[in-house]
């Protein structure tokens, strides 16, 4: 899949692109069927919601689950990102977020690049977020919310929030969010048909199989899921190879350390068997839990 000049212009202006139903129900079924088995595992890579057994986020499934290993090499997702960066990409992070019916908790307002910069020493924002819906996403089950154009602000000051949910996040304070939303259009306006336009918050919603590309500096959040419908989505972060992280402060199952360029499989890879490597199939190596506050060039110099 190639991006058109109009899509490139829109991405530059708004910071995201939405592709409804990019993957077919058959392709998504293969992925969704693999999720319960992955979520059932008692492993560090399954982070559960505060006070609940529901999985909030699962990490690194592409290293031990075959369907997700094939998704990680899917040209419909990888090609447009390589086009945008003009360079090969590697997998910086791979998550399957649960946002389960009744139990899925909020994601506070944040930018992803803030974390990658502060924790992982990723040099620049040349990394892209991709969201792929495994369930239908609607206004009730905690859809993503974006502040269009907020990526133009670069890295915004953030506080490390260790309290609100079970997962630490660098969050942007409410006063600044209010200003950014106002600048992006505020509440917007309803027309005579009850349709809202010009709103400073955008929320792409659509059927399972839809995909969003969003800039790593785009400010985003989502509310809790009080609906009876799961909102399982895969979030992949593809980083330009030259922009790889420079510190291993977070465990490898969260921030990956293999900077090899992704080699795409054919377009039908979710429906046909193609061999893929599953290095963590037999379990996560102990090294994946090891962390260091030293930059990696200092580690190599010291070796």
3-class state of residue 242 by DSSP: helix
Which residues contact Mn ion by CB under 5 A? 112
Nearer to ligand SIN, 203 or 278 (CB): 203
C-beta nearest to ligand SIN: residue: 222
CA distance 180 to 178: 6
| Nearest distance from C-beta of residue 300 to ligand SIN, angstroms | 31
Residue 39-78 contact track with ligand SIN, rule CB under 6 A, x = bound: ----------------------------------------
Q: Which of 94, 104, 57 is nearest to 256 (CA)?
A: 94
The correct pick among 72, 122, 144, 181 for binding ligand SIN (CB under 6 A) is: 144
* Burial class for 118, CB neighbours closer than 10 Å (0-12, 13-18, 19+): middle
- DSSP letters spanning 116-134: HHHTT---SS-EEEEEEES
CA distance 87 to 239: 10
The one of ligand SIN, Mn ion, none whose footprint includes residue 235, by CB under 5 to 8 A per kind, is ligand SIN
**Residue 109 Cα distances to 1, 161, 177, 285, angstroms:** 30, 11, 8, 33
| Nearest distance from C-beta of residue 172 to Mn ion, angstroms | 11
| Nearest distance from C-beta of residue 111 to Mn ion, angstroms | 8
Nearer to ligand SIN, 59 or 107 (CB): 107
Angle, CA of 199, 1 and 23, to the nearest 5° = 70
b/e sequence 272-295, b meaning 16+ C-beta within 10 Å: eeeebeeebeeebeeebeeeeeee
The one of ligand SIN, Mn ion, none whose footprint includes residue 97, by CB under 5 to 8 A per kind, is ligand SIN
| Nearest distance from C-beta of residue 44 to ligand SIN, angstroms | 18
If one asks whether residue 97 binds ligand SIN (CB under 6 A), the answer comes out as: yes
The correct pick among 45, 107, 109, 253 for binding ligand SIN (CB under 6 A) is: 107
The one of ligand SIN, Mn ion, none whose footprint includes residue 141, by CB under 5 to 8 A per kind, is none
- DSSP letters spanning 74-86: -HHHHHHHHHHHT
If one asks whether residue 220 binds ligand SIN (CB under 6 A), the answer comes out as: yes
| Nearest distance from C-beta of residue 104 to ligand SIN, angstroms | 8
Other C-beta atoms closer than 10 Å to the C-beta of 265 total: 20
Q: Which residues of this chain interact with ligand SIN, rule CB under 6 A?
A: 97, 99, 107, 144, 220, 222, 233, 235
């Amino acid at each position: 899949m190639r991006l058109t000049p109009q899509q490139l212009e829109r991405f530059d202006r708004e910071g995201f692109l939405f592709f409804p139903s990019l993957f077919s129900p058959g392709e998504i079924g293969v992925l969704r069927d693999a999720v319960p088995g992955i979520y059932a595992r008692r492993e560090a890579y399954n982070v559960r919601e505060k006070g609940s057994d529901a999985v909030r986020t699962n990490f690194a499934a592409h290293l031990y689950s075959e369907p997700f290993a094939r998704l990680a090499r899917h040209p419909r997702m990888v090609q447009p990102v390589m086009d945008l960066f003009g360079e090969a990409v590697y997998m910086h992070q791979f998550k399957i977020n649960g946002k389960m019916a009744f139990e899925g908790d909020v994601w506070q307002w944040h930018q992803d690049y803030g974390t990658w910069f502060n924790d992982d020493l990723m040099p620049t924002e040349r990394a892209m977020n991709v969201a792929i819906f495994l369930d239908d996403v609607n206004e009730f089950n905690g859809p993503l919310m974006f502040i269009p154009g907020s990526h133009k602000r670069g890295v915004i000051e953030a506080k490390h929030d260790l309290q609100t949910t079970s997962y630490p996040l660098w969050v942007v304070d409410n006063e600044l969010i209010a200003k950014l939303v106002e600048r992006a259009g505020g509440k917007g306006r309803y027309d005579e048909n009850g349709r809202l336009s010009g709103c400073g918050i955008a929320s792409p919603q659509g059927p399972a199989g839809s995909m969003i590309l969003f800039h790593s500096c785009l400010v985003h959040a989502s509310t809790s899921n009080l609906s009876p419908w799961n909102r399982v989505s895969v979030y992949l972060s593809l980083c330009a190879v030259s922009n790889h992280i420079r510190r291993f402060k977070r465990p490898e199952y969260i921030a990956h350390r293999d900077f090899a360029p992704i080699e795409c499989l054919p377009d039908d890879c979710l429906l046909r068997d193609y061999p893929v490597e599953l290095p963590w199939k037999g379990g996560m190596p102990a090294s994946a839990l090891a962390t260091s506050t030293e930059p990696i060039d200092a580690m190599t110099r010291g070796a």
